[in-house]
């Protein structure tokens, strides 16, 4: 399966605009805060998988803007869905920062947990957009990251008809990347949560089979992990993840050792 394939037209050294056509992630948010294996709840709840799209972008002097058009294939028959995003970042000595925001016009039918809840019949409702704000601040090996997502409206439970209210998710992460034994070792500690998403099934971090989801949404989650290059382009990442579901339905945790090779 070729999940990401795209072609970019442009030359930023001559002109700060470009166009990309192909299958890649939408840029309405950054969706960080995860460990070597597990994702923060912002990612689990709202980030779609790779999506066929046409992207128009601008990048110069730390300012990046994007406008993307696509068709999610479930609620419209033409490429009338869109994403708008803006990000600005700079570096001053050991200090670095960036901040951004984005808007996705409709989450329904996308491959995120929230989008799939519409497709699979748990949620019903009209067009529901998604707003995102995110930021990162670092000093040397120390960093802090945060992100917040919220929908434009609520959705209706397909069985009870009760409205969820606006669905949202947040993450706050601390990062530390010291040089240990001549190599950088990256540590992450993150806390994420959701609101009004009890009716949205989410994937289990420890699932070994694709498609194994909880019957309810995750309400809070902690991730503690590390990653280190042990050989050229080979990384080892131990991690512990703990999450709690809504209404006291239960807790879940996973301990993982991830080995990744990059080519």
Dihedral sign, Cα of residue 61, residue 63, residue 67, residue 68 = positive
pLDDT at 248: 80
Rounded mean pLDDT of 149-171? 95
User: pLDDT of 229-246, one tens digit each?
Assistant: 999 999 999 999 999 999
Structure confidence at residue 76 as a pLDDT band (50, 70, 90):
low
65-79, 113-127, 237-251: least confident range: 65-79
Structure confidence at residue 78 as a pLDDT band (50, 70, 90):
low
Cβ–Cβ under 8 Å, residues 170 and 192: yes
pLDDT at 57: 95
User: pLDDT of 32-64, one tens digit each?
Assistant: 999 999 999 999 999 998 888 999 999 999 999
The CA distances from residue 39 to 86, 204, 205, in Å, are 23, 10, 8
Q: Which helix (H) or strand (E) holds 115?
A: helix 113-119
pLDDT at 209: 67
Average pLDDT, the chain: 91
Structure confidence at residue 254 as a pLDDT band (50, 70, 90):
very high
| Tokens linked to 53 | 């799209």
Structure confidence at residue 75 as a pLDDT band (50, 70, 90):
low
In the predicted structure, residue 71 carries a pLDDT above the cut 90: no
């Amino acid at each position: 399966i070729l999940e990401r394939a795209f072609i970019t037209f442009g030359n930023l050294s001559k002109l700060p605009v470009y166009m990309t056509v192909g299958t890649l992630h939408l840029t309405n948010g950054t969706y960080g805060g995860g460990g070597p294996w597990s994702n923060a709840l912002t990612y689990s709840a709202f980030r779609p998988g790779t999506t066929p799209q046409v992207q128009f972008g601008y990048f110069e002097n730390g300012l990046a803007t994007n406008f993307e058009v696509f068709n999610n294939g479930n609620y419209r028959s033409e490429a009338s869905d869109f994403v708008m995003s803006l990000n600005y970042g700079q570096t001053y000595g050991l200090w670095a920062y960036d901040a951004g925001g984005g808007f996705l016009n409709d989450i329904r039918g996308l491959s995120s947990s929230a989008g799939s809840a519409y497709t699979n019949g748990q949620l019903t409702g009209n067009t529901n957009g998604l707003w995102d704000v995110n930021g990162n601040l670092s000093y040397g090996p120390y960093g802090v990251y945060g992100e917040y997502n919220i929908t434009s409206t609520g959705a209706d439970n397909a069985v009870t008809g009760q409205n969820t209210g606006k669905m949202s998710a947040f993450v706050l992460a601390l990062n530390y990347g010291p040089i240990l034994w001549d190599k950088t070792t990256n540590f992450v500690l993150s806390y994420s949560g959701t609101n009004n998403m009890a009716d949205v099934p989410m994937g289990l971090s420890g699932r070994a089979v694709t498609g194994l989801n909880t019957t309810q949404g995750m309400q809070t989650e902690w991730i503690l992990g590390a990653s280190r290059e042990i050989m050229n382009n080979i990384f080892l990442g131990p991690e512990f993840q703990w999450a709690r579901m809504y209404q006291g339905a239960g807790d879940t945790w996973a301990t993982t050792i991830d080995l990744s090779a990059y080519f």
